[in-house]
Amino acid sequence: MLVSHVLVPPAITAILESPTNRVQAFLAAGHVCSVMGTWEYEPLVERYRVPIVVTGFEPLDVLEGIRRTVLQLERGEAQLENAYTRAVNRAGNLPAQQMLADVFEVTDRGWRGIGVIPNSGWRLRDVYRDFDAETRFAVQNIHTEESALCHSGEVLRGLLKPNQCPAFGKECTPRTPLGATMVSSEGACAAYYQYGRFAQSEDGAVL
Ligand code: SF4
């Protein structure tokens, strides 16, 4: 196994601690929370005064998550809200968490376009080390070259909209992705390409 799992709260912390941070609120991914629960986000809301709304994946779920987030921002509130109660509760899936804790331990993890975030990933525990490709094969020092054209780190941190990247829709498309955010259909750049590349404001400017 070549494990590259990541943890959400340390990534949110890294974004909020950045001196250039512009992110004012977060939609927390419902599939993660269905296992991990919502309790991990409570200290983040408390410490950074930032709204976090746990959100599902159907179109109405996403709209509801956005609606609740905007309402909080307009009221000047910062709360943890669960807009995905049909799948998520505060504690999460305890047997699944126990299995995860048995197999994995927390480690530093490199994030493409951002760099290493301390304690933001999992690796196999020692007892499973025989199955760990990182120790069995010479893969630890593989370095991924990021395209010089790619601004995915800024996109991930909310500093740049995907279509403000000069390569968006030109050198970089879902068929020819230059960065992680265009590779996955869940990525911001791929979503902008799929749904937003033809969107224009009333004065004709590309949004
Ligand atoms: S459009 Fe492509 S090149 Fe630009 S930030 Fe997104 S992934 Fe990187």
- Tell the CATH topology of 1-144: Rossmann fold (3.40.50)
Whether 172 is in the pocket of ligand 1, judged by its Cβ within 6 Å, is yes
Average pLDDT value for residue range 112-117: 83
What pLDDT score was predicted for residue 3? 92
Provide the pLDDT for residue 206.
Answer: 52
For the chain, give percent helix, strand, coil, nearest 5: 40, 15, 40
Contact 52, 84 (CB under 8 A): no
Sheet order of strands, 80-82 included: 26-29, 52-55, 80-82
Relative to the CA of 179, which ligand 1 atom is closest?
7
Ligand 1 within 6 A of 168 CB? yes
Contact 139, 2 (CB under 8 A): yes
Alpha helices in the chain (DSSP H): 8-17, 30-36, 42-48, 59-75, 94-103, 133-136, 152-156, 180-183, 188-191
Neighbours of 70 (CB within 10 A): 13
Bridge partners (DSSP) of residue 105 are: 123
Confidence at 110, pLDDT banded by 50, 70, 90? confident
Tell how far the Cα of 23 is from the centroid of ligand 1, in angstroms. 19
Q: Is the CB of 190 under 6 A from ligand 1?
A: no
What mean pLDDT do residues 63-81 have? 98
Question: What is the Å distance from ligand 1's center to 152 Cα?
Answer: 5
Beta bridge partners of 81: 53
CB atoms within 10 A of CB 192: 22
* Percent of the chain's residues with pLDDT above 70: 95
Model confidence pLDDT, tens digit, residues 24-42: 999 999 999 999 999 999 9
Check: pTM over 0.95? Answer yes or no: no
140 vs 124: CA distance, rounded Å: 14
Q: What percent of the chain has pLDDT over 90?
A: 79
Rounded distance from Cα 151 to ligand 1 centre (Å): 6
Q: Is 188 in the pocket of ligand 1 (CB under 6 A)?
A: no
DSSP string, 22-61: ----EEEEHHHHHHH-SGGGHHHHHHH---EEEE-SSHHH
Domain ranges, ordered by start, for the chain: 1-144, 152-196
Mean pLDDT over all residues of the chain? 92
Q: Residue 154: how many CA atoms within 13 Å on its side-chain side? A: 12
168 strand-pairing partners: 172
